[in-house]
Structure 1
Amino acid sequence: MSEQIYPLKFDPIYQYRIWGGRRLEHILSKPLPEKENIGEAWILSDRDDFSSKVIDGKLKGKTITDLMKEYGYEIMGKLGNDFERFPLLLKFLDCHAVLSVQVHPSDGQTEYIPKGDSGKTEAWVVLETADDSRIYAGLKKGTTKEDLEKAIKNKNIAEKLHSFVPKKDDAVFIHSGTVHTVGGTVVFEVQENSDVTFRLYDWDRTDPKTGKPRELQVDKAIACIDFDQVDIGPVTPVKSDKVENAEKLFDNQHFKLWRIKSDSNLTVGLKDQPVVLVCLDGKGTMEFQGTQYSIERGEVVLLPAIIGPLELELESKMEVLQIAIPEKK
């Protein structure tokens, strides 16, 4: 086993967004930039423009991009031949105001995807709600391309979108090609490692930083819409027989996600494959090669595949998301 590799903790990368707020300071310990509307905290990102940095241990300061080049097989295990870059992007979102109405391309729609990028299937776990919380997920059944174009022109696109009022702990799956947006809600997001978004409508607002409206990409967005993605609501959690004290929320070709709620010690991680732990509440520690590694609210820890399962000792009741990457078929 590599002497260098250990459970890896990363520094969050804060992102200004026109629709952001200040609620992420209640989740993460790293202070938010002053007087900025922070919409996103990228907590694990292997992107050229924003690559997450290790915050402690021998590898402190190294990026996940560096590590994937130097320790790709130690990190990815049996998935080592499948991925050159870490294939998921993990975020906390503070959707203080509603996001633009948007859509992401599917992997196969290569004409709309920059070289080296992918499509974007994503999913949300709702952490906090407010009086104005609403999730728009999919079109209303029967909506056609012509209906949508007319609604955009008449600025009543919301009437063509399926929506619901989310509750804390709701989990929502947004397949690529799904028209969606969210507002008044704090969510955790797991997605393909992609930053391709096409905006259909942005509520006729201007960005206070530029004084101008944000750019729309209506033609590209409509070309990428899957008109069969309609009336999408929260998923039904499934009790897991693979992960202790857990329910499985998502299981698709891009990611698997379990939500663990426990007040007693448990095993986390999987054999010969990487696992990401995201702590939503509580605090615990894992021992690896004689060293203690802590995880607490708002933190992300990547367990490289070479490490395998570890015992998580709880200092208090914990809520943890465990995320794994399926093998390519």
Structure 2
Amino acid sequence: MSEPLFLEPVFKERIWGGTALRDRFGYRIPSDHTGECWAISGHPNGPSTVKNGEFAGKTLMELWEERRDLFGGMSGKGFPLLTKILDANADLSVQVHPDDAYANEHENGELGKTECWYIIDCKEDAQLVYGHHAKTKEEFVRLVEEGKWDSLLRKVPIHPGDFFYVPSGTIHALCEGTLVLETQQSSDTTYRVYDYDRTDAAGNKRELHLQKAIDVTTIPHRDAAVLPRTEEKPGVTITTFAKEAFFSVYKWDVKGTASFTQNKPFELASVLDGEGAMKADGKTYPLEKGMHFLLPSGFGHFELEGHLTLIISHP
């Protein structure tokens, strides 16, 4: 039996970021333009650090290299998943991500990027960009070249609690006034298609990656089916959002005391709301919103108690 690994997040400033990560979760963010909390990360561009126990001070990247037994002996050169919380205080650029094969060939062996979003909160009438209206590659290229973004981009309304699965090849963008938990392949590869002609403080526009985007975009767009399933168990409501090739994602709404068994290679957990405790192996670990932790291989039986909303994922 090993301990849960509680993780210190890494924060990223972004042109579109704001203060919601501080306002909602109490995080000490670097500025009022903080867009990303890399909450559970083994990626070299921002690895999380363990805060407790025998591995305190180690990064998730180091543990993946040195202690593969903690992860069920999984193969692969890099930790496979990345959990983020994104504060879209302004519209994000319209993007598309490559699959593993394209990224491996064109991005120095980086993974591709399939991701998913759980909408923590959003303003009234919020939307996001999900897909496009082009029927052929020729139509897609023409609309991009002519800058006819209103004709090309498909916008969908969103509400707190919604879930979106975003496979590689899907044109997408979060829009202003959205707070999202993102579960994704551990990749930092993004092809920017359109950035609203924004400029930075020096008057420069951000780089676009149009040819790569054209190469990898799924045309015509296909909606990924999301059919959440809800299961009531003593003390907890479990919603299964996705069981896909790269990850499975669930929401646990705990009210009271609920029992679980961790029998996956590992599980990642983010506390989005509430407070309570985890009890395992005779020890009690306080939980509150904004905490993120990893349950290693062989963790076994544990209980959660209190009023808690968590997002759980595993490979």
TM-score normalised by length of structure 2: 0.92
Is 1:135 paired with 2:122?
no
2:20 aligns with one of 18, 23, 27? 23
Residue 11 of structure 2 is matched in structure 1 by: 14
* 1:142-162 CA distance string (max 9 Å, x none): 532222222223322232122
Aligned partners of 1:114, 1:308: CA distance in 2, in Å?
38
- Contact in 2 for aligned 1:103/1:199 (Cα 8 Å): yes
Residue 300 of structure 2 is matched in structure 1 by: 308
- Contact in 1 for aligned 2:103/2:109 (Cα 8 Å): no
Residue 151 of structure 1 is matched in structure 2 by: 143
Segments of structure 2 that go 5 or more residues without pairing to the other structure are: none
Aligned partners of 1:128, 1:245: CA distance in 2, in Å?
20
Partner SS state of residue 149, structure 1: helix
Structure 1 position 240, deviation (Å): 4.0
Residue 32 of structure 1 is matched in structure 2 by: 29
1:76 aligns with one of 46, 71, 76? 71
Structure 1 position 227, deviation (Å): 0.9
- Contact in 1 for aligned 2:6/2:293 (Cα 8 Å): yes
Residue 285 of structure 1 is matched in structure 2 by: 277
Mapping of residues 59-208 of structure 1, within 5 Å = 59-73=55-69, 75-77=70-72, 80-110=73-103, 112-131=105-124, 133-140=126-133, 142-184=134-176, 185-208=178-201
Residue 238 of structure 1 is matched in structure 2 by: 229
- Contact in 2 for aligned 1:104/1:120 (Cα 8 Å): yes
- Contact in 1 for aligned 2:263/2:300 (Cα 8 Å): yes
Residue 321 of structure 1 is matched in structure 2 by: 311
Aligned partners of 1:240, 1:251: CA distance in 2, in Å?
15
| Cα 1:306–1:168 shift into 2, 3 Å | same
- Contact in 2 for aligned 1:132/1:183 (Cα 8 Å): no
- Contact in 1 for aligned 2:120/2:160 (Cα 8 Å): yes
Letter in 2 for 1:76: F
Partner SS state of residue 285, structure 1: strand
Letter in 2 for 1:55: K
| Cα 1:295–1:135 shift into 2, 3 Å | same
Structure 1 position 190, deviation (Å): 0.3
Structure 1 position 191, deviation (Å): 0.3
Structure 1 position 113, deviation (Å): 4.1
| Cα 1:131–1:212 shift into 2, 3 Å | farther
Structure 1 position 234, deviation (Å): 8.0
Aligned partners of 2:189, 2:283: CA distance in 1, in Å?
40
Letter in 2 for 1:277: A
| Cα 1:268–1:84 shift into 2, 3 Å | farther
Structure 1 position 241, deviation (Å): 7.8
Letter in 1 for 2:27: K
Letter in 2 for 1:13: V
Residue 244 of structure 2 is matched in structure 1 by: 252
Q: Aligned residue pairs: how many? A: 313
Aligned partners of 1:96, 1:69: CA distance in 2, in Å?
36
2:45 aligns with one of 40, 46, 49? 49
Aligned partners of 2:26, 2:55: CA distance in 1, in Å?
21
Deviates more, 1:17-26 or 1:143-152: 143-152
Deviates more, 1:266-275 or 1:12-21: 266-275
Aligned partners of 1:31, 1:111: CA distance in 2, in Å?
35
Structure 1 position 207, deviation (Å): 1.8
Aligned partners of 1:143, 1:99: CA distance in 2, in Å?
24
Q: CA RMSD in A?
A: 2.1
Segments of structure 1 that go 5 or more residues without pairing to the other structure are: none
- Contact in 2 for aligned 1:279/1:297 (Cα 8 Å): yes
Aligned partners of 1:193, 1:219: CA distance in 2, in Å?
23
TM-score normalised by length of structure 1: 0.89
Aligned partners of 2:155, 2:303: CA distance in 1, in Å?
40
- Contact in 2 for aligned 1:133/1:166 (Cα 8 Å): yes
- Contact in 2 for aligned 1:137/1:233 (Cα 8 Å): no
